[in-house]
Amino acid sequence: MSSDDDRPAPPTTSASIVVLTLARQVETELNAALSPLDLTVSRLGLLGHIAAMPGVSFSDLARMSGITVQSVHAAVKALAGAGLVRDNTARAGSASAIEVTAEGARLMERARAAVADVDERLFGEGADPVQRQVGDTIRAAFS
């Protein structure tokens, strides 16, 4: 017969692992919701940075997005090709003049609605009570 002292202790819950797991769930849900708009979380983030800071430099976009400057150049080129941003930069090495187009702004509004739907599903009234509490805590911390 074994005693309670022989049983292994339950694993300690790691806040980092819980947040990472939830973040992956959120990213998966957001990407699925944004897919019909031909957007990803990354593309939406880049578009949002450009909208918030017209004329932002490629270097600053890279820092804010956590990607390389070369990747930002490629992403901005793709966004411009889709008619979502306009790159008015005269030549390489000159100051950036990147701005969101009217079409990009319309797409961002549709994306905001998709994000709001995901927020409601994951953190709203009908969501798991723990996830609702997480959502409430995050909104309170950043308001």
0.85 exceeded by pTM: no
Q: Are 17 and 94 in contact (CB under 8 A)?
A: no
Give me the CATH number covering residue 26: 1.10.10.10
Q: Which pLDDT belongs to residue 87?
A: 85
**Domain interval for residue 131:** 15-141
Q: How large is the greatest C-alpha to C-alpha distance in the chain, in angstroms?
A: 81
Within 8 A by CB and 6+ apart from 113, the residues are none
pLDDT tens per residue across span 71-101: 999 999 999 999 999 988 756 666 678 899 9
Q: Which pLDDT belongs to residue 57?
A: 86
Q: Which pLDDT belongs to residue 27?
A: 96
Q: Which pLDDT belongs to residue 56?
A: 87
Instruction: Identify the segments of the chain with pLDDT beneath 70.
Output: 1-5, 9-12, 90-95
Q: Which pLDDT belongs to residue 5?
A: 64
User: What torsion, rounded to 10 degrees, do the Cα atoms 112, 46, 36, 84 define?
Assistant: 100
Q: Which pLDDT belongs to residue 49?
A: 95
Number of domains, the chain: 1
Task: Tell me, yes or no, whether 125 lies in a domain.
Answer: yes
